[in-house]
Amino acid sequence: MKVYIDGKYFGEKDAKISVFDHGLLYGDGVFEGIRAYNGRVFKLKEHVERLFYSAKALLLTLPMTHSEIEEAVLETCRQNRLKEGYIRLLVTRGIGTLGLNPNKCKKPSIIVIAGKIQLYPQEFYERGLEIITVPTVRNLHSALNPAIKSLNYLNNILAKIEANNGGCEEAIMLNSQGFVAECTGDNIFITKGDRLITPPLSAGALYGITRGVVMELAAQNGMHVAEENLTRYDLFNADECFLTGTGAEVIPVVKIDGRIIGTGKPGDRTRGLVAQYHALTQSSGEPILKTRAKTVRGKAR
């Protein structure tokens, strides 16, 4: 594997950052998880745009433009001959002192890793997840805004630990008001009749790229898509439930806190959205390999 670090490519064993990088010392930085399908990087522009939004919230000035970062992602895929896989794009505050002051960091670092990922075993996509609600509350907007995809993921990790201790792959996180925010790494949806409902961003949900795609697909299917505050009661009595995320894609949920959701099997609406999402990922995105224009009598065509 070749890893991009600040304009150069390094082998996996040589891909290193300084121990004085504030991304390591304090989680001071931002990231994006991106997927490649069928030789294309799915929703690349949207991911890079969200990266810039997160960086702006941290007063972190990126040393590259949108298009330069997009090209770095594509070239990293080419270097690794990656046609299908997962890309981790990171920006750290850079090398600084042992103090917190970000102004001591002279230049941010940009890192691109292109490899493979499988968040959940295939069997869960077929029969659905059983998940629980955990005590760890989602970060407050006034503390560390959940909209920022920062390198500090301890809030989510603590909830993930609780999920693992409860024998589950994933868990629901509530906000400080008791409303459903999101899962440790995914957005959550329920269906009720012809309605598709997901927590609003104000509840602590991340502005998920996959979340947005699924909402668009559901609207095209004639469903009424809404962002509403949800309680555990709403989840328990949903017709169907599923999670979305770049790594997870779209995965059904069939039991929450011991309550069977719907029929206890992935529902028709969920299966339909899964199929539509997979079809879309196979046919859209930024091509990894550059196409060369054909010439006719010395002229480009």
What would the pLDDT profile of 185-242 be if each residue is shown by its tens digit? Answer: 999 999 999 999 999 999 999 999 999 999 999 999 999 999 999 999 999 999 999 9
Residues 34, 145, 100: CA angle, nearest 5 degrees: 95
How do residues 114-130 score in pLDDT, each as one tens digit? Answer: 999 888 889 999 999 99
Percent of the chain with pLDDT over 70: 96
- Give domain 123-283's CATH number out of 3.20.10.10, 3.20.20.70, 2.40.50.140, 1.10.3720.10: 3.20.10.10
Q: What's the pLDDT score for residue 297?
A: 38
For 216, half-sphere exposure in the C-beta direction (CA atoms, 13 angstrom radius) is 9
Q: How far apart are CA 180 and CA 159, in angstroms?
A: 14
Q: How far apart are CA 33 and CA 28, in angstroms?
A: 17
Measured CA to CA in angstroms, residue 278 lies from 206, 214, 240, 286 at distances of 22, 11, 19, 16
Domain extent listing, the chain: 2-115, 123-283
Nearest Cα to Cα of residue 186 among 166, 163, 165: 163
The two domains 2-115 and 123-283 share their CATH topology (first three levels equal): no
Looking at domain 2-115, does it have CATH number 3.30.470.10?
yes
Q: What's the pLDDT score for residue 291?
A: 54
Nearest Cα to Cα of residue 184 among 160, 212, 211: 160
pTM, to two decimals: 0.93
Catalytic option among 45, 106, 107, 149:
149
φ/ψ of 252, rounded to 5, equals -70, 150
Active site residue 149: yes
How do residues 25-56 score in pLDDT, each as one tens digit? Answer: 999 999 999 999 999 999 999 999 999 999 99
